[in-house]
Amino acid sequence: MTSEYLFELGGENKELAKIEALELLKTERYNPETHFEEGQIIIIKTSQKLVLKTIQRLGMTKRVSRIIHSSEEKNIGKVIEQLPTLNLGKSSFAVRQICRNVISERKIAIKIGQKIPIENKIDLDNPDVKILVYTGSKTIISILEENSTTSYKSCLEHHVRYRPYFSPISIHPRIARSMVNLANCSPNDTVLDPFCGTGGILIEVADMGMKAKGIDLLEKMVVNSRGNLEYFGLKGKIKKGDVEESKNQGFEAIVTDPPYGIASSTGGEKVSELLQRAMNVFSESMEKGKRIVMAISNPELIQTTNFKKIYQFEWYIHKSLTRNILVLEKI
């Protein structure tokens, strides 16, 4: 049975957020189709109802709500009149606007309240469900269940400032999580980070129920990565070694943020040579169709004929650093 969902995307990088959502839904076999885009809003139609674990994997989407009515009509009063009686079971509810309208939220809430049985109590502070109203070129009414939350906020608990072992160049948790979701991996798959540093990517891998494997050239980073995973109650297999060790690891995808020679160690090797050697190793180790998702400052350093580029996103860090997220697939 098909369903339609309203995705409210984070403002950091809309295209990355959108593609993360679509790729995750493809991986989980929801056969997603984008039906509408406006600002940070997209409507995605799926072949079945989304389960909570899928929604919780998202790192770049703020909220996902199930659409109960959409209309080209811009008069919100007329749209609400078209609504049937809303069956919320025994749930308490509150009405919220996604964007402000000429009609106040209170007036909209009163109108929608007339479509809800009196047995359902209004709870403005802690409702079981929120009825969301979006008004733009379309008017959309959707339902957000209390526990149906993405990891847009919760993954910030993994930020470097909260880890016992700190690295100033560690990748942001939202980026790390979205990168993992771009790798086409399901729970119980193994994801390898051959340049794991203090474990920022591995934390997100393990948090989503996948098997995390890491390699780093420095013993200190191996210890720190293990310590950070343990701090969050997560598990992973991490070992000291060169990128060549990737050949001996069983995995479904590589997600990594390679060193770029400023504040991270390359063992004295030029960054360009290290990356070329790494790509040769990955080519030998990976099967057709498997993916590498890589954060890199200069994408021109990646030279390979054995992988095709699926996506490339730019992520502005500061005036002297922009990271590119590359999604490569073995051919």
N residues, the chain? 331
How would you write the chain as a 3-class SS string? CCEEEEEEECCCCHHHHHHHHHHHHHHCCCCCEEEEEECCEEEEEECCCCCHHHHHHCCCEEEEEEEEEEECCCCHHHHHHHCCCCCCCCCCEEEEECCCCCCCHHHHHHHHHCCCCCCCCECCCCCCEEEEEEECCCEEEEEEECCCECCCCHHHHHCHHHCCCCCCCCCCHHHHHHHHHCCCCCCCCEEEECCCCCCHHHHHHHHCCCEEEEEECCHHHHHHHHHHHHHCCCCCEEEECCHHHHHHCCCCEEEECCCCCCCCCCCCCCHHHHHHHHHHHHHHHCCCCCEEEEEECCHHHCCCCCEEEEEEEEEEEECCEEEEEEEEEEC
**Rounded mean pLDDT of 126-146?**
93
Q: What is the pLDDT of residue 303?
A: 86
For residues 49 and 46, what is the distance between their CA atoms, to the nearest angstrom? 7
For residues 202 and 181, is the Cβ–Cβ distance under 8 A? no
Q: Are residues 20 and 127 in the same domain?
A: yes
Asked if residue 290 lies in contact with residue 282, where contact means CB atoms within 8 angstroms, the answer is no
Residue 247 in this model has a pLDDT that exceeds 80: yes
Task: State whether 232 and 304 are in the same domain.
Answer: yes
Q: What is the mean predicted confidence (pLDDT) over 157-184? A: 93
Q: What is the pLDDT of residue 263?
A: 46
Domain that holds residue 73: 3-145
Q: How many domains does the chain have?
A: 2
pLDDT beyond 90 at 210: yes
Distances (CA, A) of 155 to 269, 277, 313: 34, 33, 21
pLDDT-derived band at 162, boundaries 50, 70, 90:
very high
**Residue 139 shares a structural domain with residue 158:** no
- Domain termination residue (choose one: 145, 172, 204): 145
Q: Are residues 251 and 273 in the same domain?
A: yes
Read off the CATH number of the domain in which 87 is found: 3.30.2130.30
Q: Is there a single domain that holds both residue 40 and residue 81?
A: yes
Categorize the per-residue pLDDT at 26 as very low, low, confident or very high, splitting at 50, 70 and 90.
very high
**Whether pLDDT at 169 is above 90:** no
Say if residue 285 is in the same domain as residue 302. yes
Average per-residue pLDDT for the chain: 92
pLDDT tens-digit profile of 73-90?
988 889 999 999 999 999
Q: Tokens 């959409």 belong to which residue? A: 70
- Regarding beta strands 291-296 and 190-193, do their DSSP bridges make them parallel or antiparallel, or are they unpaired? unpaired
The predicted model scores a pTM of: 0.93
Is residue 83 within 8 A of residue 115, CB to CB? The reply is: yes
- Of 19-23, 142-146, 198-202, the one with minimum mean pLDDT is 142-146
What tens digit of pLDDT does each residue of 248-286 get? 889 999 999 998 765 456 667 888 899 999 999 999 999
Q: What is the pLDDT of residue 248?
A: 84
Residues 193 and 317 in one domain: yes
> Do 167 and 132 share a structural domain?
no
> Would strands 93-97 and 41-46 be described as parallel, antiparallel, or unpaired?
unpaired
Strand partners, 61: 9
| Boundary residue ending a domain (119, 145, 171) | 145
Is residue 130 located within the same domain as residue 230?
A: no
- What's the alpha-carbon Rg for the chain, to the nearest Å? 22
Q: What's the rounded mean pLDDT across residues 30-48?
A: 96
One domain, residues 269 and 129: no
**Domain match, 196 and 227 both:** yes
Q: What is the mean pLDDT of residues 91-100?
A: 89
CA distance 123 to 55: 24
- CATH code, domain with 238: 3.40.50.150
- Asked whether the predicted pLDDT for residue 321 surpasses 80, the reply is no
Q: What is the mean pLDDT of residues 217-243?
A: 96
Mean pLDDT of 138-167: 92
Boundary (domain end) residue, out of 98, 124, 145? 145
pLDDT higher than 80, residue 102: no
Same domain, 121 and 8: yes
